[in-house]
Amino acid sequence: MSSELIIQYILSGVTSGSVYAIVAIGFNIIYNTTGIINFAQGEFVMLGGMIAISLVPFMPLPMAVALAVVITAAVGALAQIAFIRWLKRPHVLQLIIITIGLSILLREAALHIWDEKVRSLPYFTGTVVTSVRIFGAYVSPQVFWVLGVCGAAVVLLSLFFGRTLIGQAMRACSADPLAATLCGINQKNMVTLSFVISAALGALAGCVVSPITQTHYECGTPLAIKGFTVAIVGGLGNSTGAVAAGLLLGIIEAFSISIMPMAYKDIIAISILLAVLSYRPTGLFVRREVGALKEF
Amino acid sequence: MSREWVPFGALAATVILIQLVTMFTNTQYYLTQLIMAALYSIVVIGLCLLMGYAGQISLGHAGFFAIGGYTAAVGTTLNLLPHRDHVLVRMAERAGLTIQTTNSWGVDILYFSPWITLLAALLLSGVISLLIGIPVLRLRGHYLAMATLGFGAIIYYILLGSRFLGEADGIYDVPGFGLPGGFTFDGARNNRVLSYYFVWALVIGLMVLMHNLVNSRPGRALRAIHGNEPAAMAMGVDTARYKLSLFVLSAVCAALGGVFMAHYNGGMGPTEAGTLKAVRYVAIVAVGGMASLWGTLGASVVLNFLSLRGYFGSLDDAVFGVVLITVMLVAPDGILRRLGMYTLRRNRDTAPDAFPVSAEKQVQRGTA
Amino acid sequence: MLRVRNLEAGYNKLRVLRGISIHVGAGEIVTVIGANGAGKSTFLNTVAGLLQPLSGEIEFDDQPLGRISPFNVVARGCALVPEGRLVFAPLSVAENLTLGAYHQYRRRRKALAEQQLERVYALFPVLRERRSQLAGTLSGGEQQMLAIGRALMAGPRLLMLDEPSMGLAPLIVKSILETIAGLRKDGVTILLVEQNSKAALGIADRGYVMETGSIVLEGTAEELLNNNEVQRAYLGKEYQSIAER
């Protein structure tokens, strides 16, 4: 394998890996405030891409992306308010099934709004054929958009959760909802906010990656499975772990093409998921003692 | 006959009645969907046992359905003639385990008897579910849901990506299932009535089996698992073993449904392993009230029939999404139970609750 | 300051409190003692709004408190230090305290919150030393101080404490209770729920004895300490030693 090819693989792996990481962080945010896994996370990515694609003929690209993020965030908020917020002491199984139902509804809505065609956003800079030469390999500038946007999102999120009062309040809700309420924090608002943030995050990822991977009404579920794999491998709730695991999975997938048929590429992530869930459900990047506190 | 068997008699009578009505009203085409609904019901009954009585969710049962269907399809469409000299083929042929015929293309073929492939399908799904179940059933809640969803997805991708399994087209030209008495179970119009009675006999038999299981000693242990796992464990119930055996049993049920679906439809495609199908099974069990075999069977027949007849149109999958959410929002312990039709169950007091929340509701109902 | 009349509350239809009436005057230290399961925590949780009362009235500063959301009770000036402390384990000590003043920040009273922080640090100097440490790594006594400090950050006029002595060494209990008693001079009224009756009555002005959801006895701390029933049931004195007197 030539060094150019290796760089090519690594860059393409890092690109899809950073999208997985973003989806995983979306899982983490909602998991941290509610303890549930939002099975509709992948659909937020799909919706973001689809909405931006529909808006782009009418306005400049940045505005279309921004509006798509806002609309998807609103969809996330509405879904949470309509289906989850008013439930009194819901059971975990109940919440799982509701978010599964939600994912089907979003997917079917997308099918009826946009039909089955595969679409994509235009490249943010240049076109399909534009490429940048780096260490002898040719890559699309969109790769840097994906990396830049995902990197910025991770940094902004960690600032939000670490430095702002609302971010700290959300972490407090995840640590102890009862004590958070006693501090005067409206825990239900924080949960709704977590849906808003992770929907917005998913939508953003859906927009930047759309020119490369394209958007299709069914593209949410595979992304959700991979995002969940990454979230689990990185340790559920641990966003730094998610970034590491995301990049790792992306690179493994990219290299897998050279040794096995393309059609089986998607199986790798799931096999890793099953293996990690079976033998180390706390994730690879979390100390066992910390994981022991969680319930699987 | 004790009162316990009244519902089964009623079911059998209904099955016969429906057939007679369709015969006299000349609407026999309904039987086709009723046959397919029954085949899906076989999956759902098994899943009901797993979800309702052991409290374990599985989004992987479409995968087992497809394993069953594809095993039957591959086994009965693989032409053994070119391999006739192989020792295994020769042995199978001598033992009468193969069938030689001329297919619809006028080609002579030799294939495994459907009985062999049925057995193989059940064994294969049993072994796979055992291998998957041991590690995965240690997980709970959304971890288990995601793991089983992942398993289903693996099966889907394998079916979709393997040339050998027909890729996106799946496998077609699957022959009928020859049963004793010279009758063949398949989708042919003149076999419809017999096929109808055959699958429904299968369903009733399965219901009797499940009913006995639920009311047996292990059955009570199963309820304990759903009610309170630590307490069951403290009382010496080997919860892990029961969960695993139910998982395997329900997987084998799913494969059984898949086998006959492949023979009935004359083929199977990869969408049978898709997430949407798996979610559909879960939705039906939820509508039926989680731990209610009869509720689940009723929900399964009605929803599958409507769906197969195309009443939901292009909203087919959306309907199941709406059903799922609605049931979980307004009646997490099942629509039927809410409607008070639950009195059909003889021993309702011992029925485990679908969710711990409903225990509170029962307290409220009791005092109100 | 706090007036509770005929309060009934519980979980679902299970009635735990059967007609509780209690009043706490401004500047008082009042304690509610009773055995495990008497309903003491249920009582505090109901006042804090975590449980909806089935019937009865709760008045705080002559305003009804019964039906408002728990996160608004804090803003009214009534803070609860919950049983088992419940500090935010993965957050730092400083973050825990900041969140205690959440409603002050939301109302843009940052200066007030910072002033409060200085007072809490002065009260519990150990919290200042450990301000960047994760709350989960503190000792039990330090966590209790943090929980009290966090509640004080809200600037409450009534501080309710649920079993602050639970699981702590006697010396630490003593120092924490002394600190609580000292809050009076800052104008904080105290409602203390304790199983450790002797320690609680030691710092209280008045007390109530709760048994299976009802108040069976009330009086000044002195009266209760000398009451035969209380001595027998809650202070661990033997029959004989009471009878001999």
Q: What is the tens place of the pLDDT at every residue in C168-226?
A: 998 999 999 999 999 988 889 999 998 888 889 989 999 999 988 899 989 999 888 88
- Residue B341 has a pLDDT of 40
**Would you call B363 an interface residue with chain C, using a CB distance cutoff of 8 Å?**
yes
Question: In Å, how far is C99's CA from the nearest CA of chain A?
Answer: 7
Of B143, B157, B356, which has the smallest distance from its Cβ to A91's Cβ?
Answer: B356
> Which whole number is the average pLDDT over B238-267?
90
Identify the band that residue B143 occupies on the pLDDT scale cut at 50, 70 and 90: confident
Q: Residue B249 — very low, low, confident or very high, per pLDDT cuts 50/70/90? A: very high
More confident residue, A85 or B93: A85
- C155 to chain A: closest CA residue: A183
Q: Is the pLDDT of residue A59 over 90?
A: yes
What pLDDT, on the 0 to 100 scale, is given for residue C190?
94
pLDDT at B61 (0 to 100)? 93
- Does the pLDDT of residue B103 top 80, yes or no? no
Minimal-distance CA residue of chain B relative to C14: B363
Q: Name all chains with 3 or more CB-CB pairs below 8 Å to chain A.
A: B, C
Q: Is the pLDDT of residue B362 over 70?
A: no
- pLDDT beyond 50 at A91: yes
Nearest CA in chain B to A261: B161
Give me the pLDDT at residue B180, please: 80
Q: Residues C92-129: pLDDT tens digits?
A: 999 999 999 998 888 888 898 999 999 999 999 999 99
pLDDT band at residue A291 under the 50/70/90 scheme: very low
Amino acid B165: pLDDT: 86
How many angstroms away from the CA of C150 is the closest CA of chain A? 8
- Residue B275's closest chain A neighbor by CA? A221
Lowest mean pLDDT among A237-246, B135-144, C36-45: B135-144
pLDDT at B357 over 60: no
**Is C97's Cβ below 8 Å from some Cβ in A?**
no
Residues of chain A positioned with their CB less than 8 A from the CB of B324: 97-98, 100-101, 104
pLDDT of A60 strictly over 70:
yes
Q: Is A184 left (phi over 0), alpha (psi -120 to 50) or beta?
A: left
- B229-242 pLDDT, tens digit each: 677 777 677 778 88
Q: Which residues of chain A neighbour C150 with C-beta distances below 8 Å? A: 183
Does residue C243 surpass a pLDDT of 70? Answer: no
Q: Which residue of C has its CA nearest to A172?
A: C88
Reference B153, options A155, A221, A289; nearest CA is A221
For an interface test with B, which of A80, A91, A95, A104 has the most B Cβ atoms less than 10 Å from its Cβ? Answer: A104
Count, residues in chain B: 368
Subunit contact C95:A179, Cβ cutoff 8 A: no
> CA dist B365 to A34, B289, B354, B359, C232, Å?
29, 17, 16, 10, 42
Task: Please compute, for residue C20, the number of CA atoms within 13 A of its CA located in the half-sphere on the CB side.
Answer: 33
CA dihedral sign of residues C109, C112, C118, C119: negative
**Residue at token pair 């009224």:** C189
CB pair distance less than 8 Å for A270 and B322? no
DSSP labels, B106-137? S-EEEEE-HHHHHHHHHHHHHHHHHHHHHHHT
**What percent of chain B lies above the pLDDT cut of 90?**
21
In this prediction, residues C25-45 reach a mean pLDDT of 90
Instruction: Look at residue B227 in the predicted model and tell me its pLDDT.
Output: 63
CATH of A3-292, one of 1.10.3470, 1.10.4160, 2.60.120, 2.60.40: 1.10.3470
pLDDT at residue number B228:
67
Residue C194, sorted as left (phi over 0), alpha (psi -120 to 50) or beta, turns out to be beta
Among B172, B167, B199, B204, which residue's Cα sits nearest to residue B74? B172
Domain limits of chain B?
3-273
What's residue A47's pLDDT?
A: 95
- What is the per-residue pLDDT for A285? 66
Task: Check if B26 contacts C (Cβ < 8 Å).
Answer: no
Residue-level pLDDT at B356: 39
Q: With a CB-CB cutoff of 8 Å, which residues 138-197 of chain C face chain A?
A: 150-151, 154
Q: Is the per-residue pLDDT at B17 higher than 50? A: yes
The model's pLDDT over A165-175, given as tens digits with 9 standing for 90+, comes to 999 999 898 88
- Whether the CB of C105 is below 8 Å from some CB of chain A: the reply is yes
- Kindly tell me if the per-residue pLDDT of B220 is higher than 90: no
How confident is the model at residue B347, as a pLDDT?
A: 38
pLDDT of residue C52: 86
Q: Is the pLDDT of residue A65 over 80?
A: yes
- Give how far A54 is from chain B: nearest CA, Å: 22
Query: Measured between beta carbons, which residues in chain C are less than 8 angstroms from residue A186?
Result: 69, 71
pLDDT exceeds 90 at position B253: yes
pLDDT of A236 above 50: yes
Where is average pLDDT lowest: B1-5, B215-219, C81-85? Answer: B1-5
User: Residue C154 and residue A184: Cβ atoms within 8 Å?
Assistant: yes
Contact across the interface for C70 and A171, Cβ inside 8 Å? no
**A96–B142: do the CB atoms touch at under 8 Å?**
yes
Whether the per-residue pLDDT at A195 is higher than 60: the answer is yes
Residue A293 has pLDDT above 60, yes or no: no
Q: Do C90 and A181 touch (CB under 8 A)?
A: no
Instruction: Report the pLDDT averaged over residues A220-226.
Output: 87
3-state secondary structure chain C: CEEEEEEEEEECCEEEEEEEEEEECCCCEEEEEECCCCCHHHHHHHHCCCCCCCEEEEEECCEECCCCCHHHHHHCCEEEECCCCCCCCCCEHHHHHHHHCHHHHHCCCHHHHHHHHHHHHHHCHHHHHCCCCEHHHCCHHHHHHHHHHHHHHCCCCEEEEECCCCCCCHHHHHHHHHHHHHHHHHCCEEEEEECCHHHHHHHCCEEEEEECCEEEEEEEHHHHHHCHHHHHHHCCCCHHHHHHC
Cβ distance B154 to A271 less than 8 Å, yes or no, reads: yes
Contact indicator for C191, C151 with CB cutoff of 8 Å = no
Q: Which residues of B touch C13 (CB under 8 A)?
A: 363-364, 367
Partner C contacted by A165 (CB < 8 A): yes
- Report residue C182 as tokens: 């000292």
Closest CA–CA distance from residue C244 to any residue of chain A (Å): 47
C214: phi > 0 → left, psi -120 to 50 → alpha, else beta; which? beta
pLDDT (mean) for A225-247: 87
Residue C16 predicted with pLDDT over 60: yes
Q: Which of A273-277, B147-151, B200-204 has the lowest mean pLDDT?
A: A273-277
Mutation site for A-interface testing, chosen from C41, C68, C88, C92 by largest number of A Cβ within 10 Å: C88
Please give the pLDDT value at position A295: 43
Chain C residues closer than 8 Å to B364 by CB = 12-13
Contact call for A104 and B328, based on CB within 8 A = no
ipTM for the assembly: 0.88
User: Domains in chain C, start-ordered, CATH in brackets?
Assistant: 2-244 (3.40.50.300)
Q: Check CB contact under 8 Å for A176 and C100.
A: no
What residues of B are in contact with residue A105 (Cβ under 8 Å)? Answer: 318, 321-322, 325
Q: Cβ–Cβ of B286/A97 closer than 8 Å?
A: yes
C-alpha dihedral, C232 to C235 to C238 to C242, nearest 10°: -70
- Band (pLDDT 50/70/90 cuts) for residue C237 is low
- Rounded to an integer, the average pLDDT of B277-306 is 86
Residue with more model confidence, C61 or B368? C61
What are the residues whose beta carbons fall under 8 Å from the beta carbon of C228, sequence distance 6 or more?
C242
Determine the pLDDT at residue C118: 93
